[in-house]
């Protein structure tokens, strides 16, 4: 009987004596190569840069609202856990909730754009791509901040959360604002790098995306790193409650953390990620 291509155990020349089923299983189980991950993340960036402004805006506002549940969840765990040395290790898991909502719902988050939307520019550094990147960054950043401002005002003025949880949210917010300008900046670099690493890991994570997002964002919380969007919920909460002025927020939080996240996500992770594949890809 002649060997057919549909015979389950027929060997193949390129499989080195393995059946086609074996070869297919090897290919299925093989990890994605770095150039493939790069192309996936880059294609997502191309898609984001081509979306209508209204789509980016409302997706960004939704992300700002969703990310507020990070602070809320942390405060809930903090309030209900005993005041022990291990309490921050457990309550920091609450920080992942908002990021899980944002990433799994594919909402627009500014710090994700520090890698996805940058890779097309790194591959083809043109004025057109630079303008497209600036457009995405500006729209998504202000949309995120609009969402976090609304969330902070809602938590402060509406009877939506208990006084104990609100006090817990304010306590966490005050702790963040105790950091100096330089501490904010350098901790933001680490946060930007971790978020970019999360974006890079997701394509090969498949069913483990939940765990990747949780681990990366948990490290941000437990390490007291600063994130411009999640942290703005805390900063805005202090502003609307009368405990922080607008200018001190901008000068001591927004500027250093925004710059740090961009350095960590773009200058470090995104450009290094491009550098390791630039001789293996077609532009």
Contact 81, 165 (CB under 8 A): no
Q: How far apart are CA 157 and CA 160, in angstroms?
A: 8
> Same domain, yes or no, for 82 and 173?
yes
Closest CA to 227 of 275, 259, 201, 270: 259
Q: What is the pLDDT of residues 62-98, one digit of tens each?
A: 999 999 999 999 999 999 999 999 999 999 999 999 9
Dihedrals φ, ψ of 125, to 5°? -80, 90
267 SS3 class: helix
Per-residue pLDDT reduced to its tens digit, 81-140: 999 999 999 999 999 999 999 999 999 999 888 788 888 887 888 899 899 999 999 999
Summarize the confidence of residues 206-218 as an average pLDDT: 93
pTM here?
Answer: 0.85
Are residues 203 and 91 part of one domain?
A: yes
Domain interval for residue 2: 1-30
One domain for residues 102 and 70: yes
233 and 99 in a common domain: yes
Q: What is the DSSP string of 212-237?
A: HHHHHHHHHHHTT---HHHHHHHHHH
Residue 281 in any domain: the answer is no
The whole-angstrom separation of Cα 89 and Cα 225 is: 14
Are 7 and 99 within one domain? no
């Amino acid at each position: 009987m002649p060997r057919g291509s549909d015979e389950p155990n027929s060997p193949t020349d390129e499989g080195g004596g393995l059946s086609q089923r074996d070869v297919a299983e090897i290919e299925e189980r093989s990890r994605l190569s770095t150039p493939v991950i790069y192309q996936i993340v880059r294609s997502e960036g191309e898609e984001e840069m081509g979306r209508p402004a209204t789509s980016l805006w409302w997706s960004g506002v939704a992300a700002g609202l969703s990310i507020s549940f990070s602070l809320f969840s942390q405060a809930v765990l903090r309030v209900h856990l005993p005041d022990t040395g291990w309490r921050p290790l457990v309550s920091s898991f609450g920080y992942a909730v908002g990021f899980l909502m944002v990433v799994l719902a594919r909402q627009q988050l500014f710090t994700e754009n520090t890698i996805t939307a940058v890779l097309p520019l790194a591959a083809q550094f043109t004025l057109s791509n630079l303008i497209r990147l600036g457009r995405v960054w500006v729209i998504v950043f202000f949309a995120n901040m609009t969402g976090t401002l609304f969330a902070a005002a809602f938590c402060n003025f509406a009877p939506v959360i208990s006084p104990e949880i609100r006090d817990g949210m304010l306590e966490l917010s005050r702790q963040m604002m105790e950091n100096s300008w330089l501490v904010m900046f350098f901790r933001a670099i680490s946060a930007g790098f971790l978020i970019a690493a999360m974006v890079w890991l997701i394509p090969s994570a498949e069913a483990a995306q939940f765990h990747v997002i949780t681990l990366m964002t948990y490290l941000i919380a437990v390490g007291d790193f600063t994130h411009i969007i999640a942290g703005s919920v805390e900063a805005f909460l202090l502003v609307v409650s009368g405990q922080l002025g607008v200018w001190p927020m901008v000068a001591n939080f927004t500027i250093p953390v925004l710059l740090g996240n961009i350095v960590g996500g773009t200058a470090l992770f995104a450009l290094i990620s491009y550098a390791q594949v630039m001789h293996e890809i077609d532009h």
